[in-house]
Structure 1
Amino acid sequence: MKFKKALGLLVATLLCSQAFAAKLLDKAAVIVDRGVILESEIASMVTEIKANALKNNQKLPSDKALRTQVTERLILRELQMQMAERAGFQVSDSQLQDTLVNIAQSQGMTIEQLKRTIDAAGLQGKTWEAFRDEIRIELITNEVRRSSVSRRVYVSPQEINSLVEALQQKGRENDEYHLGHILVGLPSEASAEDIEASKGRAEKVLRLLNDGSEFRKMAIASSSGEKALDGGDLGWMNINEMPTLFAEAVEGAKKGAFIGPIRSGAGFHILTIFDVRGREIVEVTETNSRHILIKPSIILSDAKAKEMLQTFLKDIKAGEADFAELAKKHSADPGSAAKGGELGWADPNVFVPEFRDALNSLQKDEFTGPFKTDHGWHIVQLIDRRKQDKTQSMQEEQAYQMLFKRKFAEESEAWYRSIRENAFIEILD
């Protein structure tokens, strides 16, 4: 009996000691403005980092140095969360769910499989709910940093142009051109009249080419170059392999371009680029279209809006009404209505999916509709299509992104220092 009482007393004492230890473990470790960082938060992050390092066979600094780094990270996180609270910034459950789905898909899992994996791992008691909370905090802090730092970043047009030029120059060193060549020759001791006559013949050849004459045929008929009988085909050449005169002329030129006449001691040269390899060319098919938009309202039902457009389309096709006049009078899209419904040249992908698909289904001058989008009911006519080289604009966008990322990283460090220095922080003993 005495033994049982002693054992019970011992168990009670141990339980009390554990509860006391847990309280000590969860004491405030750092005061950060209006918030605190708990000892348990620091310990949990240190343990998680150690576990990941062990798993990845990665070496870590001393426990003291690791604790200092973790504490600093949690201080910055707490400061950003306080900024988010003051700004009223929140992450909705649907935003969080979308992010979790993306994380799961990146791991080749469903959301349920990811949940089971995290719960099964149970790293230091980490649960699915704790994982969700971490992702929510990360989304919030990333948005606070993005909105705060982006305002401090400016990329000038001059910087973009300089970087584009540098990237193009680097790329051009590896570009290869499949060249065609026509030479309108000169006598060895050409007079001024000879030079003028040769120049005139070269200009005539160039005009014929621009009017649609076939280059290889023109080379056989008109060229005095050594490759004339091969249709003027010089084959594939790198910029550094070409005569300097040619290299300067073709650098940066597009496939299919005619270049010249270029004067040399031998005569007047006309070049074409049959093809280019090693260079990324971005072509976009643009459409020019016009539409009439009718928006349903309290006094105009959905069915009535559709019926109006059906009548418009019937009258237009019968020649009893003019599309542009109907658009000016009835279209609810003020930007295009004033232009007779015309939307101008644009990549169809800038439009909502229903409108894009309608355009892609049309041939030139065809009509379609009525069909409904989030904006209302439409009828649309495809005026024309064209291919546009968007390589330059793509390169400018790439250059901007590269410059922005570099400056964003630099400004992020400055911003972190700023909010850290301006905050009240007390690390408790």
Structure 2
Amino acid sequence: MNLKKLFASALLTVGLCQSVFAKPVEIDKVVGVVNQGVILQSEVDTIINRVKTQAAEQGQELPSDDTLRIQAIERLVSQELMMQLASRMGLEISDSQLDQTLENMAREQGGTIADLRRTIEAAGDSYPAYREEIRKEITTQQVTRMNVDRRIYISEQEIDNLLKIMETQGKNAEEYDIGHILIDIPGDATAEEIASAKTRADKVIEFLKEGKEFKRIAISSSSGSKALEGGQLGWMSINEMPSLFAEAVKGHKKDDIVGPLRSGAGFHIIKVQDIRGRQVVETTEVRSRHILIKPSIILSEEKARDMLKGFAKDLREGKADFAELAKEYSEDPGSALKGGEYDWTDPSTYVPEFKNTLLSLEKNEISEPFRTQFGWHIVQLLDKRVADKTEQAKRNRAHQLLFNRKFKEESFNWQQEMREQAHVDIFPTE
């Protein structure tokens, strides 16, 4: 029997016993049945009182008590259905998991669990009851996520379509500070004159990439209308630029040199001097190689570590080849055949010990043996770079936006289906 139903029956028994000796006192009552569970009046009152308290603090007007009662009961029905489903799924939130959540909540408020408890009790609420409410919230969130996630599918085409919309909307906000140099071509130029202009344009780009000052070169070399201003066209959005420039600067970063771009006027060279209104996402990536030795009944922890220590010594002295050692001895099937090498990777994807060791190395440096959950390693940092992940970040954001929208839709549909399949009986008020 459901615990709340058993509790309600016990309360009814207490009421009957009291009626023999005195006027019965109603402690609690059942206001609805949800499959094998019940909804108690005290639960409804708790929600209504909380809503009224919050509304009073915020100076907000509320609908009638009858409307609040209906809303509270609907919330409790939905919660009871999900808790019943969690029970059937065997989903339980442990005390340690609950305490971790409460600790995180307290930390976000700048305090400790003890501070959180004092705040709850100062408001006249029971901390143990509050704790169980949070457990229910975590449970219902996990049940919803587990059942709704599998109903959602997002195609690459949907992401592409949304990215186009986002790009169009973002063009007005994204602006570029443009420097411009024009190497002109006469209208009746010969092939030799065009080739000569192209050569001069290439030379200008070469100077710029060597770090020569853009404004100075523009003043001395450009035939553009802003030559005397150092070729400064100023801030402009994609929509304000000539279409030739707009297409060319798309996707470029600050300080990039673009060109030469051919038009009827000549060869254009553009410098993206700055960008505003764009979110640029950059990530450090590393290329590395490692050798993994796993301790076993035959090979002890000490022997595995000493084996790698010997490898590292031989490698530093040039007596061994890393790739050959990895192919022969490494027990990482994903990299051993490649000489222990990993391609460019965000180090945050590695386990902490591997990541921290890798980031502490200089280029080409070989680590001392270190332990992870997989075994003993030595690792060599081959190279490090800063990668522009802006486009990937945009795709991730588009995917998340689509997921959030579909999650809300499917969550509502799922709860409606669950409600239609359930036996729900709400008793009228007296």
Q: 1:16 to 1:338 in 2, by over 3 A?
A: farther
Contact 1:364–1:385, Cα closer than 8 Å, also in 2: yes
What aligned pairs does 1:371-410 form with structure 2 within 5 A after superposition?
A: 371-410=370-409
Residues of 2 paired with 1:299 and 1:16: CA distance? Answer: 79
Match of 1:334 in 2: 333
Q: CA deviation at 1:198?
A: 5.0
Alpha-carbon shift at residue 266 of structure 1 (Å): 2.4
Partner of 2:203: 205
Q: CA deviation at 1:194?
A: 5.9
Residue in 1 that maps onto 2:49: 47
Structure 1: distance between partners of 2:229 and 2:365: 45
Displacement of 1:212: 4.2
Partner of 2:62: 60
The one-letter amino acid of 1:401's match is Q
Query: What SS is found at the alignment partner of 2:425?
Result: strand
TM-score (norm 2): 0.87
Q: In the alignment, what sits opposite 1:343?
A: 342
| Separation of aligned partners in 2, 1:234 and 1:65 | 62
Indicate the residue corresponding to 2:13 in structure 1: none
Q: Percent identity?
A: 50
Distance of 1:403 and 1:241 partners within structure 2: 31
Write the distance in 2 (CA, Å) between the matches of 1:142 and 1:15: 47
Number of aligned residues: 410
1:295: which partner in 2? 294
Q: Match of 1:234?
A: 233
Separation (CA, whole Å) in 2 of partners of 1:301 and 1:50? 66
* 2:118 maps to which of 116, 119, 122: 116
Structure 1 counterpart of 2:188: 190
Alpha carbons of structure 1 residues 227 and 338: separation in structure 2 relative to 1, 3 Å: same
SS of the equivalent of 1:17 reads coil
Q: Say if 2:201 and 2:267, in contact at 8 Å, map to a contact too.
A: no
Residue 38 (1) aligns with residue 23 (2): no
User: Shift of residue 282 of structure 1?
Assistant: 1.3
> 1:4 maps to which residue?
none
Instruction: Map Cα deviations across residues 223-257 of structure 1 (whole Å, 9 max, x no partner).
Output: 33344466544343333443443334323433333
**Distance change >3 Å, CA 13–CA 156, structure 1 → 2:** closer
- Partner secondary structure for residue 23 of structure 2: helix
Question: Is contact 2:283-2:346 (8 Å) kept?
Answer: yes
Counterpart residue number, 2:78: 76
Aligned 8 A contact 2:284 2:387 in 1: yes
CA distance in 1, matches of 2:21, 2:143: 43
Q: Quote the residue 1:131 is aligned against.
A: 130
Deviations 1:364-400 (A, max 9, x none): 1111121122222211100011121100011111111
Query: Are the counterparts in 1 of residues 31 and 427 from structure 2 also a CA contact under 8 Å?
Result: yes
What secondary structure, in the 3-state scheme, does the structure 1 residue paired with 2:223 have? Answer: coil
Q: Which amino acid aligns with 2:256?
A: A
Q: Matched residue of 2:173: which SS?
A: coil
1:289 is matched by which residue type in structure 2?
Answer: S
For residue 3 of structure 1, what is the aligned residue in structure 2?
none
Instruction: Provide Cα deviations, 1:149-183, integer angstroms capped at 9, x if missing partner.
Output: 11111222122122222223322323232222222
TM-score between both structures, scaled by the size of structure 1: 0.88
Q: Which moved more, 1:244-253 or 1:276-285?
A: 244-253
Relative distance call for 1:307 and 1:197 in structure 2 (3 A) is: closer
Name the SS for the 2:59 alignment partner: coil
Distance 1:18 1:258 in 2: 87
One-letter amino acid matched to 1:312: F
Amino acid at match of 1:115: R
C-alpha separation between the residues in 2 aligned to 1:251 and 1:244?
11
Partner of residue 281, structure 1: 280
SS at match of 2:393: helix
1:209 and 1:414 map into 2 onto residues whose CA distance is 62
Hey, what does 2:23 align to over in structure 1? 17
Aligned-partner Cα distance in 1 for 2:409–2:253? 37
Q: Secondary structure at the match of 1:335?
A: coil
2:368 match: secondary structure = strand
SS at match of 1:299: coil
Task: Output the aligned Cα RMSD.
Answer: 2.5
Residue in structure 2 matched with residue 9 of structure 1 by the alignment: none
Q: Which moved more, 1:91-100 or 1:214-223?
A: 214-223
The 3-state SS of whatever aligns with 2:299 is: coil
